[in-house]
Structure 1
Amino acid sequence: ASYSNLNGQVSTEEVKSLLSAHLDPNSVEAFFNLVTDYNATVGSTGLSGDFASFTKTEYDVEKISNLWTQKKGDFVGTNCRINSYALLKNSVTIPKLEKNDQLLFVDNDAIDKGKVFDEKDKEEFNILFSRVETEATTDVKVHAQKMEKFFSQFQFNDKARMLSVVLHDNLDGEFLFVGHVGILVPADDGFLFVEKLTFVEPYQAIKFASKEDCYKYLSTKYADYTGDGLAKPFIMDNEKWVEGY
């Protein structure tokens, strides 16, 4: 696998054309405005432009954080969910459901302060990433069925797929929520996965030989996001549970 932080023109153009083949071009443009703004602010901390061999990536979070805050003040930036919605906007259909945005308060604060989405898009964002009621069990299958039922109400994009890492949370009731998410599109010799790691950490565009390699990367990276009485994290590919990871 190889990766880039999109901190350069060549990788940016390549990724833009792969994404634009399957997503709304305006949404891809809006996404790249976020990428450019982020890399212009903190790219000097050693973020990669060209695609390079992908092993374990380490980022200087403290340095990034300081640079960002100096320039952006109390706007914390954007995260995995905000960027994934930005890309999928206008190519997925989001039903008018009642949102459950309890766990999205930081996201919503960022959306407001950074004027990232208008009211309609913000509402859709909150519906898509609502937490989903579940039951007290460590059995992933039970939770996966709840997530499948919830996501079955949405019309996803077959080619630009939303890969979600779903976490189980029981701080105030039993809920499932999308703890991490990114977009997977076909590439010349495999697949391209595009993600923003966290509010602070950078964008990663990763080329994988197969979907399975991407599933494995996600399940390994987020394996520890669990606890006593909680189910292990699991992966959804659009509205379907990916078994075996």
Structure 2
Amino acid sequence: MTLADLPHLSELQLHNVPITSDIPSPCSLTNVEISCSKIPFDFVAFLSGVPMLEYASFIELIGPKPHPSFDDSRDISNRPTIPLHRLQKLTFQWCRDVDYDAILRSITYPNSAKVSLVMKTSPTVLFSEFIPECLRTLLGSCSVLFLSLLEEDTQDIVILELHSPNSASYHLELNYTVVSRIPGLLPKKATTASSERIFKDLMKRGCSLRNLRRLKLVLPSLPSSRTLTSLLERSVDLEEIWVETNNARALITALELPVPS
């Protein structure tokens, strides 16, 4: 089956059904949900043929293997821009061998859109290596930033959400496989995505946070007070900070507040 056989289709939901990226012209698709073991087509080619698209979700189902880090060396300057003026939400989950940077650079969408990338990696890879190059500038100038680290038995889940008044909202989720945690024992240091490591990694990438207004952190443990102080010094326009953690002493020290007795 090809989409060329269904020119008037507006909604498409497929689960493990073979399909090609051949798009009829004109195409009326507004809602697309595709999940299978391996999505067998070119995403850029597909998106270029669905100008009415509002919602799209692409999920690969079988045991997601670690993604390679982004290759920013590809020349995409000569590619035509794909206008998706109605897009509200675009999601990629577990999609392997996909150049997200090339996809996001190739399409334009309204500031009200939400883009979600869910990936898996090994514990030795830095978080920032998975942030598409086109979003790293936004990371340095975003007004709202949410960072969360969830610890489960077999994985650490790092969630980064960022937004600015002149951009869409982005949700980046990275899953690190870890050694199974035994009650009373700490996991091996090399197999955990610690908050200290994440913060230092992001700041090393030149993230200035100069326009940051709102910061929300949900972390089992905060980075050191020194790292937090460096973060706050960069965030000169910060108006609101919301923190959920097991021990806030590092933040209290960084803010130079009296420690509660």
TM class by shorter-chain length?
A: under 0.3
The structure with higher relative contact order (CA 8 Å, sep 6+) is 1
Which structure has the highest helix share of the two?
A: 1
| TM-score relative to the length of structure 1 | 0.24
Question: Greater Rg, structure 1 or structure 2?
Answer: 2
